Structure 1
Amino acid sequence: MGGLVDLFAQPAFVAGVGALLVLLALCAFYFFWRSARIRAQRDEALAQERDLRRQFEAVMTSARDGVIIAKPSGEVAMMSDLAGTILGVSATGAYGVSLSRLPVRAVDAHLRPLLPAEAFASTEDGRPRVIGVPGRRGAEDIRWLHVRTRVVEDGPDGAMIVITVMDTTGLREAAEALSRSDARFRRAMENAPTGMALVDLEWRLTEVNRAFAQMMGSTVAALRGTPFSSLSHPQDLQAERDQLQRLYDGHQNHFSLEKRYVRGDGNVVWAVLDVGLVRFAGGAPDHYVVQLRDTTDDRMHSELLAHRAMHDPLTGLANRNLLHEVLTTLVAKPDAESRVGVIAVDLDGFKGLNDRFGHATGDSALVHVAGILRSATGSRGTVARIGGDEFVIAVEDPDCSKALFDIAAAIHDGLRRPLAVKRHQVQLGASLGIAMADDETVTGGGAALLSAADAAMYRAKAAGKSRTEVFEPSMRTTADHQTALAAELARAIENGDLVLHYQPILELATRTVVGYEALVRWQHPTRGLLLPGAFLPLIDDRGLSVTLGAALVEQAATFLERGPSDSTWVSLNVSADQLGDSEFADRVLSAIGRHHLSPQRIVVELTEASLVAPNTRIRHELTELRNAGVPILLDDFGTGVSPLSYLRNLPVSGVKLDMSFVAGIPEDPAGAKVSRALGALARELGLATIAEGIETEAQAQFLSRCGWRYGQGWLFGVAQPAATVLATHPHVGESLIDPRPQERDEAMTTHEPLA
């Protein structure tokens, strides 16, 4: 014991024990430090694991596709909520369940049933498998899925199976809708009545429909890949390119342009080109959509109407409106005094030709003369017909004086060749007046130059006709005389010096007088009784027709009130100048009321040959009269530009057969056929029928047999003053029409004045 104590008391032993204790302390400290480090690493790893799990769960939650992770044995190790929702199973309840036992009802792309193991098996080519599962909208609803299965060999727990499930129902429906939309678009495009095409950014045709191909005179196959510009008319290419550039640059969303195209057969067609640019979602251009509407017929119709508005319908020459524009342009030029002149042409004896052979022959003569004037003028001027047998030639030529005389000489030479009319050789002649532009006529405009040519023409007529006179200042006396005569005419209308004479109209079957046509005369204080030809042109030129019409309506109403019969009617010729503002209709209706007349007793007679263009205001006034019971009568039936359209568009109650058809019957077979046909047409339309210009008993009997109910002409009497008619013609008349109004839609009216 003591030795042991001594041993412990030894310094060496004490030092050794101290060292051992230090070593133990160091070891304890080391192990404590190491344990703390391991705990810290473990805590850090756990924290990282938690972060990774949260991130994984966040990814799984926000992923567009559902995810299933399974062990190599097929048991579900994890299923995202989205996968469970897509498959219609509980994500938490699927944990540990074999893939083959998942409660999933699936079908393949051909609607054949699939076992879950088949549905989740990987494909040989690694591409997604298309399966269908029940939807939420009934037994017919199927949700289509893309299922991709992959085996991951280096997973954290060894190999694992990763299955992604993507619901493609919306994409599939969108694709089907797009396919249906594309199919509908293509069907609509193929069957569209207008031309349609798809054009790429290089302006090449990629798709066209049949209407487009037919418009271009080609086939659909031949047009595919064709540069669209190659079909365009060369003169319209620049306008097309300018619009395309603006469209491409975003300055406009689409454009519309009327232009020409050259068909495969070389013919030119007009079309309205509508172009829209289709862009990608980002705004980049993709392709053009083109619609092409053929406007060739519309344009030709518009050009025809424009031509008719500026040209004489009988001869095709320029009319007064176009002549006015041409003269205005010519005299406005700085060198007009040396380059511009006018020739006024008036046929000699034309009225006698009309009276002898009828209006149809007169029209043929006018067409013949128009050809002579065209040939004589050539390209040196514009030939116009300004009315009746009056023509004007506006000439522009560097040596205008020589050109005017050359044209005048050529006209006289052309007229020396006789015109064949019904086996007769008719010699035509013309009086010509020439006027060169000078300072005075240029200042006065085209009207002054035309007036000067007219004055020279009247001098030619006075000097013996069929000759040419050149204007000189002394001839202005004639023009001044016309002005004075116009002023005198205006005063005569105010004073009641223009009076009506009445030509009887009879029922052909019974030869009973049923009405009268009122014809105007001027009882001049010094020149005696003047026929309409002496003053009607002044009425037109001076705008006196409205004033005259109002005065003559009152005269006709007074005549009817004084007449012995309460059913005899009077027809008044009415011009377009008197219609359109309802003033004439008001005058007629006021006169009917003031004189206590039946509305059927005043008949408005329109001259068909003067109807040129539609005017809705004129039609409205005619309809107003017709609705009030006033009959509307179409004069000169069978002549003019479009008689059938007038019967349809005007509120017509009856028609008067033009005397040109009466003149040759019954000997003229053509005239007889036309008269019979026109009568049948009028009766079929329920219209009253009157034949004018009857001069022989044979004509009256033939027309009566053909169905023409009424007639007038020299056979039955000439126009006489009201007093004479009332004193010598006791009569019992009858109404021209059923008083019930007839409605028509449009009117085309430009009439001869009251005559």
Structure 2
Amino acid sequence: MSAAFPGPWGVVSVVIAAVAILALVAVLILLGRQRAQVRRANELLELSRELRHRYDALQAVTKEGVLVQSLAGRVLDISERAAAILGIDATSSVGRSVADLPVVLVNEMGLAMNPAAVLGHRTGVARAGWTVDSELVGVALPGTDTTQARMVQVASQLVPAGDGDAAAVLTTLVDVTGRREVEAALTRSEMQFRVAMENAPIGMALVDLEWRIVEANAAFAELLGTSVGALRGYRMEDLSTPEGRPAERLEVDHLLGGGQHRFSLEKRYQRADGHQVWVALDAALVRTPTGAPDHFVVQVRDSTESRLQAEMLTHRAMHDPLTGLANRTLLQEVLQSVLEQPGVVDRVAVLACDLDGFKEINDRYGHAAGDEVLVHVAGVLRAATARRGTVARLGGDEFVVVVQDLDGPRAVFEVAAAIHAGLQEPVRVARRRLNVAASIGIALADPESIEGGAPGLLAAADAALYRAKGAGRGRTEVYDASMAMGSPSDLHRELVAAIAEDQLVVHYQPIVDLADARVVGYEALVRWEHPHRGLLLPASFLSLIQEAGMSVALGQLVARRVVEFVASIHDRTRWVSVNVSADQLGDGEFATTLLSEISRHRLTAGRIVVELTESSLVASGTRIRHELTQLSAAGVPILLDDFGTGVSPLSYLRDLPVAGVKLDMSFTSGIPEDPTAGKVARALGALARELAMVTIAEGIEHEEQAEYLHRNGWRYGQGWLYGSAQPGDITR
């Protein structure tokens, strides 16, 4: 059977169908490609938008402004930051020529510049990516002159295909006005510091962390007698004497370790010429912003003169200015220190010495002659002691010797014999030969006597002295139990009896106006008319009263006596000052008694004055300050006694209701021979007058002192020149 073949039309149909299928496939392929291209275009558009968003976000946070322009100078794009720096609107600037932008540019000299030349395409810049040198220009914002132009750093570079297929110019602008101002301020500060350092009147140096001098000023070099160049690279610690180096090294290590920020030391430096000077060294550690140590700033001040003055003042505070002997304060410190050492029994003795008839010498020949006698006696005591102890003058003609020797009893008797022998030779005073003798009392350190400490042993020697004076004078007596004032209970009863039987009396020393020596008031001074030992001065019994706890009772007694005395004075303008200690303040009894007596006798304000006598007032509670304020408010002025003898009393001028000051006699006694004493008196007087306070100088013994003090602003004075303390019935 033969196969059947399609006819001509069948073939044509097959061909047409095949072509249709091919055409359909082609269309489908084209549609797929078109869709892919559309999708790709959309993706590129989205990417472009994302990149634009990121670009705008970056420009919003960056400090740099960006300007994009064609090679022809047409603005293609400008960031908001760039527009703000140039003072133009970003939106309206796009499409405009750079030369047409309302921008005013000036150079560092203030001369105008062409914006197109600064911001536009530079001739000769042909290859993309090449960055031109950055340039600092000034931009004058609208409404300001060129002197107020902000400084802008401009840098440009070519970028390929920045304008379609063509290259474009990318310009960055950075406002550096603040940075320039900071740099200028730092430069100015550095210059000011250097000028200040170079011209400072005290030594200054920059020191590295190895404690070596990096830079120093002329004052530092002059202090050490060398040159600035010689100091560079020198170790600071090598400038000081060997004994001062360990303490300095320790302070430096503390600074580096963070234990402190600065330190101060007073030490000695070795000058180039071999001499030594005292300096006050102040050092501070400078750290970097991260807190790491960087360098030291050091100041060195010559303190030689102030140190010598401080030592002189310290010496004056602890020594009698007339004789140069130790005073009461130093004596008590020395004796107490000696008694606290082991094995003092039979190695220590106290000798109390009082001149016989000294008052007659003063009255007949004057205080100048009396001073010469005291100086002579001081020399006799020094020679007799022969460096076996401490010689002190307690005041007037009272002397004490603390003898220290392996055989104390033997040594003290040798000293006493030498004193009597030395005084046998008359004293030559102004072509006169004056006979002087002394009564001596001795107290040996034994287990019983040292229990009372320094006051007890001094009191024992004082008791022996009174026995010697009562036995005919010019002799020596040794303390024994028969001279004792009894046991503590007996002593308490004796003191109670002294108050009850009016054995404690008040004497009054006149206070005068230095302008005319007119008596204006008195200082009340307590005395004990002891039935067996005679008239006792406060030094011999006040400490015993304090130990017995009777200070307040004594204060109340004195307050009553003083108010009665003031009420009996015919001259209603005169006043009396009462010494008050810390023991007598704080519980209100003294203040209550005093104010009650003033009210009962109807005394006017200001006629009773309170003198503060205790340095312990600063450490006392607010109760004492309250009582003083109460007294001051009631019309009882407060005086500061012993003014100038320490740092603490100066704080009273600020913390307490002080109305006046009394210059301590240790300064008065040095006038006019001691220029330092005169300067101190003048300075303290100026301070008191500046605070509008009453000024009184005590211890005046001759006219020269009175004239000097009055000339330098001290209004009132008291002392032997104007009379000693006398009973109330004599002074009325």
Bin for the TM-score computed over the shorter chain: 0.5 to 0.7
Question: For the structure 1 residues 362 and 489, does the alpha-carbon distance in structure 2 shift closer, same or farther, using more than 3 Å as the test?
Answer: farther
Give the match for residue 634 of structure 2.
none
Moved more, 351-360 or 455-464: 455-464
CA contact (8 A) 1:460 1:467 kept: yes
Match of 1:165 in 2: 173
1:148 aligns with 2:155: yes
Please report how far the alpha carbon of residue 208 of structure 1 lies from its aligned counterpart in structure 2 after TM superposition: 5.2
Deviation at 1:86, TM superposition (A): 1.9
Q: After alignment, is 415-424 or 23-32 more displaced?
A: 23-32
Contact conserved, 1:634 with 1:652, CA < 8 A, in 2? no
Indicate how the Cα distance of structure 1 residues 109 and 575 shifts in structure 2: closer, same or farther if over 3 A, else same.
same
Please tell me whether the aligned partners of residues 72 and 159 of structure 1 are also in contact (alpha carbons under 8 angstroms): yes
For 1:237 and 1:337, how far apart are their aligned partners in 2?
Answer: 41
Give the letter for the 1:133 counterpart.
V
Instruction: State the alpha-carbon separation in 1 of the partners of residues 28 and 10 from structure 2.
Output: 29
User: Which whole-Å CA distance do the structure 2 matches of 1:526 and 1:323 have between them?
Assistant: 29
Query: Aligned pair in 2 of structure 1 residues 514, 314: CA closer, same or farther (>3 Å)?
Result: closer
Match of 2:287 in 1: 279
Q: Is the 8 A contact 2:286 2:293 kept in 1?
A: yes
Compute the displacement of 1:346 (Å).
Answer: 3.3
Q: Structure 2: how far apart are the matches of 1:588 and 1:187? A: 63
Q: Counterparts in 2 of 1:579-728, with a 5 A limit? A: 612-614=642-644
Contact 2:563 2:608 in 1 (8 A): no
User: Any idea what the Cα deviations from partners look like across 1:25-49, whole Å, max 9, x if unmatched?
Assistant: 8877777776666666666555555
User: Whole-Å Cα distance in 2 between the matches of residues 523 and 42 of structure 1?
Assistant: 122
1:262 to 256, 269, 273: 269
Distance change in 2, residues 1:321/1:575 (3 Å): farther
Read off the aligned partner of 2:482 and give its amino acid letter.
T
Partner of residue 127 from structure 1, selected from 110, 121, 133: 133
Identify the residue that residue 316 of structure 1 maps to in structure 2. Answer: 324
Query: How far off is 1:114 after superposition?
Result: 0.8
Distance 1:49 1:231 in 2: 73
How far apart in 2 are the matches of 1:637 and 1:143? Answer: 68
**Superposed CA offset, 1:104-135 (max 9, x none):** 22111111011123322659994311111222
Q: Give the drift of 1:578.
A: 8.8
In the TM superposition, 1:115-514 aligns within 5 A as 115-120=114-119, 126-135=132-141, 138-139=144-145, 140-152=147-159, 157-185=165-193, 197-207=205-215, 223=231, 225-232=233-240, 234-252=242-260, 254-262=261-269, 264=271, 266-271=275-280, 273=282, 275-290=283-298, 304=312, 306-337=314-345, 339-377=347-385, 380-401=388-409, 403-404=411-412, 407-408=415-416, 411=419, 414-415=422-423, 418-454=426-462, 457=465, 475-480=480-485, 494-495=500-501
SS of aligned partner of 1:138: coil
Structure 2 CA distance for partners of 1:148 and 1:385, relative to 1, 3 Å: same
- Over 3 Å counting, the alpha-carbon distance change for 1:534 and 1:59 in structure 2 is closer
CA–CA separation in structure 2 for the residues paired with 1:78 and 1:515: 97
Q: 1:576 to 1:680 in 2, by over 3 A?
A: same
Distance in 2 between residues matched to 1:575 and 1:227, nearest whole Å: 59
Distance 1:181 1:570 in 2: 64
Q: 1:267 to 1:587 in 2, by over 3 A?
A: farther
Distance in 2, Cα, partners of 1:451 & 1:686: 36
For the Cα contact (< 8 Å) 2:509–2:525, is it kept in 1?
no
Tell me the equivalent position of 1:83: 82
| Amino acid across the alignment from 1:64 | K
Aligned pair in 2 of structure 1 residues 344, 167: CA closer, same or farther (>3 Å)? same
Residues 391 and 402, structure 2, Cα contact 8 Å, conserved in 1: yes
- Residue of structure 1 in register with 2:615 after alignment: none
Does structure 2 retain, via aligned residues, the 8 Å contact 1:570–1:601? yes
1-structure distance, mates of 2:123, 2:430: 100
Alignment CA distance shift 1:468-1:33 (3 Å): same
Shift of 1:163: 1.5
**2:70 aligned with 1:71:** yes
For 2:398 and 2:85, the matched residues in 1 are separated by 94
Question: Contact 2:278/2:307 (CA < 8 Å) preserved in 1?
Answer: no
Q: Which amino acid aligns with 2:87?
A: G
Instruction: Please name the residue that 1:702 is paired with.
Output: none
SS in 1 for 2:253: helix
Cα 1:687–1:77 change in 2 (3 A) is closer
Q: Secondary structure at the match of 2:88?
A: coil
Which 5+ residue runs of structure 2 have no aligned equivalent? 125-130, 512-517, 546-550, 612-639, 672-676
Question: What code does the residue aligned with 1:129 have?
Answer: E
Q: CA deviation at 1:185?
A: 4.9
Per-residue CA deviation, residues 519-575 of structure 1 (Å, 9 max, x unaligned), is 999998999xx9x86667656566698577556546756765xxxxx6699897x67
Q: Give, in whole Å, the separation in 1 of the partners of 2:509 and 2:337.
A: 46
User: Given that residues 318 and 330 in structure 2 are in contact (C-alpha distance below 8 angstroms), is that contact kept between their aligned partners in structure 1?
Assistant: yes
Residues 478 and 119 of structure 1: CA distance in aligned 2, closer, same or farther (over 3 Å): same
Q: Which is worse superposed, 87-96 or 24-33?
A: 24-33
Which secondary structure does the structure 1 equivalent of 2:345 belong to? helix
Q: In structure 2, how many angstroms separate the alpha carbons of the residues matched to 1:618 and 1:86?
A: 63
Deviation larger for 236-245 or 585-594: 585-594
Structure 2 CA distance for aligned equivalents of residues 356 and 498 of structure 1: 30
Q: Deviations over 1:462-482 (max 9, x none)?
A: 7776665655xxx22123399
Residues 524, 562 of structure 2: 8 Å contact kept? no
CA contact (8 A) 1:459 1:469 kept: yes
Deviation track 1:183-212 (CA, whole Å, cap 9, x = no partner) reads 555566566676655443333444556666
Identity %: 38
CA deviation string 1:266-287 (max 9, x = no partner): 44335362x4443333332333
Cα–Cα, structure 1 residues 523 and 569, in superposed 2: closer, same or farther, change >3 Å?
A: farther
Taking structure 1 as the reference length, the TM-score comes to 0.66
Mapping for residues 12-27 of structure 1, pairs under 5 Å: none
Structure-2 change in CA distance of 1:712 and 1:456 (3 Å): closer
Q: Is the Cα contact below 8 Å between 2:281 and 2:300 reproduced in 1?
A: yes
Computed over aligned residues only, the root mean square deviation of the Cα atoms, in angstroms, reads 6.0
Deviation at 1:335, TM superposition (A): 1.9
Q: Which piece of structure 1 moves more, 308-317 or 26-35? A: 26-35
Structure 2-normalised TM-score? 0.68
| Distance across 2 between alignment mates of 1:150 and 1:7 | 77
Q: Is the 8 A contact 1:106 1:114 kept in 2?
A: yes
In 2, Cα distance between the equivalents of 1:656 and 1:161? Answer: 94
* Rounded Cα–Cα distance in structure 2 between residues aligned with 1:8 and 1:420: 178
Equivalent position amino acid for 1:245 in 2:
D
Distance 1:381 1:133 in 2: 88
> What whole-Å deviation, never above 9, does each CA across 1:670-691 have from its counterpart, x for those lacking one?
xxxx57x956985997979999
The AA in structure 1 aligned to 2:65 is G
Matches of 1:222 and 1:106, distance apart in 2 = 51
Structure 1: segments with no counterpart, 5+ residues: 506-512, 561-565, 627-631, 662-673, 694-710, 714-718, 726-753
Listed one character per residue, the Cα deviations across residues 636-658 of structure 1 (whole Å, up to 9, x for unaligned) are: 99857668659775977999997
